[in-house]
Structure 1
Amino acid sequence: MATKLRLQRRGRKNYPFYQIIVADSRAPRDGKYIERIGSYNPNTHPATITLDFERALYWLQTGAQPTDTVRNILSEEGVLLKKHLLGGVKKGAFDEAEAEKRFEAWKNSKSQLAQKIKDKDNEQKRAEEKARLDAEKEVNKTRAEVLAKKKAEEEAANAPAPVEEEAPVAEETVEVAEPAGSVVEETVEAKVEEAAAEVEEAPAEVEEAPAEVEETPAETPAATEEAPAAEEKPAAEAAEEKTEE
């Protein structure tokens, strides 16, 4: 019976998952199979492969023909290399110990390469995660600034007018300014009263001036009276002279 190593699809839409099976080459795609020897998940990077190494080697040695995809999987896992080395042992090219040594050397180099690929993938994932977080922080920062600005605008719109709040202060200022106005009024009134007093004193001085003028004529008759007295004195002296004679 011709057998084939092939993949059988499982999984869901847009997320395929495959089984590695051994089936009759004449069986339908989703028909019965002889044995399941592994699985293949291409959705991860690198792809996840599980394989029963010994059973896969057995079926290859019995003549089962793998499909292209399964052949690549078997090559990656070293099944084809192991079959080739065992063929060299049968031909007498080298013994089984040398075959195992060569296979282990290949396996170690393969594991190191796989580890490098895995480390590179992890580093790339960390870089992508960091970039995503930085972008998310920038978006959150921008969003917070927009929300803060919007909130400030709403508070400014809902807040009472600044003029109404300052109105009591303006009234107090006016009230404080009123005593200053009254002081000015009192000063003006005092100046007006002083000016009126000066005006009243000025007529008094004017009245005193005529009084002095009136006193001056009074003194003049007295002088006139003294003048006849002076005239009388020479007359008396003349009378005395006549008597002496």
Structure 2
Amino acid sequence: MAVKIRLQRHGKKGKPVYHIVVADSRSKRDGKNIEKLGIYVPTTNPATIELNLDKAVDWLEKGAQPSDTAKSILSFKGALLKKHLNGGVKKGAFSAEDAEKKFQDWLEHKEKSILTKKEKLVSSKEQAKKEKFEAEKKINEARIAAQQKALEEENQEIANDAEAPVTEENTSADTEENKNEETNA
């Protein structure tokens, strides 16, 4: 029987969740499977992958052929490397302890790179938030300055209007007094 390791789609429209399964290659995509190895959620950043590594390596050693996406997932989680190292142990190239040490070193390096990516994503989000805040702050300051300027101009116009009638009244009063003085004289 031809066995494949492939993805089985679950989840709702637009939000896929894939089960990583071992299935007969002739069965439908979402049909019957032999064993579930893990899950893959591509919508998160970075993608969430939960995989039973030992079962995956066991099925790979039995001859199960992974699909393209499943192969990249298995490679990312280290199942293909572990299978390769187990092959080296069987051939006598190195001991099982050396193989385990190499795998653990690779795993630590991989975890560091994933953590670095997560930190970079968080810092870029914070940086974008700060830039957005600064831009909004500048816009608010410009708007407040424009309002202050308009208010000052309005106050100055009101002050000018208030002063202008007073001077007109004084001048008209002065002219009336002058007329009265002229008529009296």
TM-score normalised to structure 1 length: 0.59
Q: Aligned equivalents of 1:180 and 1:66: distance in 2?
A: 112
Which structure shows the higher strand fraction? 2
Question: Which residue in the other structure is 1:204 paired with?
Answer: none
* Cα distance in structure 1, aligned partners of 2:94 and 2:120: 38
Percent identical residues? 44
Structure 1 residues 163 and 100: alpha-carbon distance in aligned structure 2, compared to 1, 3 A threshold: closer
Q: Residues 1-245 of structure 1: matches in 2 within 5 Å?
A: 1-141=1-141, 148=147, 167=165, 170-175=168-173, 178-179=176-177, 181-183=179-181, 189=185
Using a 3 Å threshold, how does the CA distance of structure 1 residues 89 and 127 change in structure 2: closer, same or farther? same
Unpaired runs of 5+ in structure 1?
A: 190-245
Q: 1:15: how far off?
A: 3.7
Q: Distance in 1 between matches of 2:136 and 2:17?
A: 33
Q: Which has the higher contact order (CA 8 A, sep 6+)?
A: 2
Aligned residues: 180
Please give the secondary structure, in 1, of the residue aligned with 2:63: coil
The range that moved more, 67-76 or 86-95, is: 86-95
C-alpha distance in structure 2 between counterparts of 1:55 and 1:174, whole Å: 106
Give RMSD over aligned pairs.
3.3
The structure-2 alpha-carbon separation of the partners of 1:183 and 1:109, relative to structure 1 and needing over 3 Å to count, comes to: same
Shift of 1:125: 2.7
Q: TM-score, normalised by structure 2?
A: 0.75
Task: Name the CA distance, whole Å, in 2 between partners of 1:163 and 1:88.
Answer: 97
Instruction: Give ranges in structure 2 of 5+ residues lacking alignment.
Output: none
| Counterpart Cα distance in 1 of 2:144 and 2:11 | 43
Q: Secondary structure at the match of 1:45?
A: coil
